[in-house]
Amino acid sequence: MKRLFIVFISLFLVLYCPISFEAKSEIVIEKIDFNNKDFIKGMDISSLISLENSGVKYYNQDGAEEDLLRILALNGVNYIRVRVWNNPFDKDGNGYGGGNCDINTAVKIAERAKKYNLKMLIDFHYSDFWADPAKQKAPKAWYNLSTDEKVEKVKEFTEASLRAVKDTGVQIGMVQIGNETTSGIAGVYDKSGMAKIFNAGSSAVRKLDSEIKVAIHFTNPEKTEAIKALADFLNDYNVDYDVFATSYYPYWHGSLENLTDVLNYAATTYSKEVIVAETSYANTLKDTDSHPNTVSQYANNTGENLLWNFTLQGQANEVRAVMNAVNKVENKKGLGVFYWEGAWISVGDITNLSAQEYASRQNENKKLWEQFGSGWASSYSSEYDPDDAGKYFGGSAVDNQAFFTANGKALSSLKVFDLVTYGNMDYLLGDAENDGTVDILDVSFIQRHLAYKTDINKKAADTDGDNAVTIKDATAIQKYLAKIKTEYPIGGSFSI
């Protein structure tokens, strides 16, 4: 009898002890004391639809296939950025690549962002393909238009595009009028003309929804005086905007101290809010898709501002450091940081293959990049950008800066987006009150939070994983307490 009892007890313990769903985080990150409660922990995933069309799938850190948007939300990402090109296709409908990002891909991503309560930044390039400091070419359809005619087109295009995104029900939090418009925008290069285009886009945003923030995006913050002069220019030409944005890639863009200084200038001189609209960092120098990477053993891998190792911890450290640099901006004007294309992985892993297998996989990848636009440029882009994309088209140059393996599994470094908020933390799912048990007090704790906006540990309270604490979470805990089965691992212990 006694032996039988022990067997029972053992069985009970095996079956009912809280299961640890995953090992302690491999990444250690000190949390940031954010000046803004809703600090933007953003991710650009513009190429997602073309990657999925090419067969790419995403898996969470436990290996379960999930919607990328859900994986991001449950790792602490709270904002999604997508670029919009006017018409990145040739007359036969072949895509230029780089995700073939137009308003249709933005809408598809918006539908999924809404589901996980992720806000969106829409990044208009006002071009048919990549716009950056070296390229600000007008869309094909606008080639022969005057600046004043382009102003009307920018208004129409911006308003119609944003309306399509807004119709999904997603919250558009911010809109960029142009991308890295340091030298021009939409084929307009004089200051007066640029200001007209900025104000055209801005007025379309204001007309649609006065709550949406308007951002103007520059780059090369390492040219300190030049980028400050751009803030002066926007002021001198009465450009109507809210957020002064810059890119910050540490292998090109100077020190973090200089970054904070540049952002402080816009924040204190012109009382603008500021963001880093793009950053990223390599977690390895290896390539996984046979297209050379921006950061590799041959390029951009040394320099005084590369303060972090090319490891998962190093990648996470860079994200924290850039967020910290933005959070330091005076008068709480630092709104947040977007990581650029953190899911742009290989469409076919070329590592650990024989020479013959490598050649065949490389060919398959090239076909996918051409067919679905999942590389940075396809050969079809040569009609629009003959000197660069038309010559050097190919795959992903940032697969080693993603937060996913070549086969789509989330890496531990992705947890940095939660870690900057919570630090390394263990919790029981459902233990909203954070006292080590899931009980009826957690239900009332969530109800109190909903009624009075009291502080709550969102990781523990968001039992259904929709990236929000709602009455559904309280109900799910009540069901769990009544021993009614739910699909959520309430009572399970987790670590970040």
Q: Which of 127, 283, 293, 327 binds Ca ion (CB under 5 A)?
A: 293
Nearer to Ca ion, 329 or 345 (CB): 345
CB of 101 to Ca ion, least distance (A): 19
Nearer to Ca ion, 201 or 394 (CB): 394
Nearer to Ca ion, 258 or 400 (CB): 400
Which residue of the chain is nearest Ca ion when measured via CB?
A: 291
341 makes contact with Ca ion (CB under 5 A): no
CB of 291 to Ca ion, least distance (A): 4
* Tokens, residue 96: 């230029």
Q: Which of 70, 135, 253, 291 binds Ca ion (CB under 5 A)?
A: 291
DSSP 123-176: EE-SSSS--BTTB-PPPGGGTT--HHHHHHHHHHHHHHHHHHHHTTT--EEEEE
Residues facing residue 493 across a β-bridge: 20, 428
CB of 179 to Ca ion, least distance (A): 22
CB of 403 to Ca ion, least distance (A): 15
The angle formed by the CA atoms of residues 315, 319 and 324, to the nearest 5 degrees, is 145
Size of the site for Ca ion (CB under 5 A): 6
Nearer to Ca ion, 305 or 346 (CB): 346
Q: What amino acid positions are annotated as catalytic residues?
A: 180, 278
Of residues 189 through 218, those in contact with Ca ion by CB under 5 A are none
Nearer to Ca ion, 292 or 436 (CB): 292
Count Cα neighbours of 349 within 13 Å in the Cβ-side half-sphere.
13
Of residues 380 through 399, those in contact with Ca ion by CB under 5 A are 396, 399
C-beta of residue 104 within 8 angstroms of C-beta of residue 126: no
C-alpha span between 155 and 153 (Å, rounded): 5
365 makes contact with Ca ion (CB under 5 A): no
* Tokens, residue 221: 């913050």
CB of 418 to Ca ion, least distance (A): 27
End-to-end CA distance of the chain: 43
287 makes contact with Ca ion (CB under 5 A): yes
* Tokens, residue 49: 């639809």
Of residues 396 through 435, those in contact with Ca ion by CB under 5 A are 396, 399
* Tokens, residue 233: 């220019």
3-class DSSP state for residue 492?
coil
C-alpha span between 321 and 315 (Å, rounded): 10
Q: Which residues of the shown chain bind Ca ion in the complex (CB under 5 A)? A: 287, 289, 291, 293, 396, 399
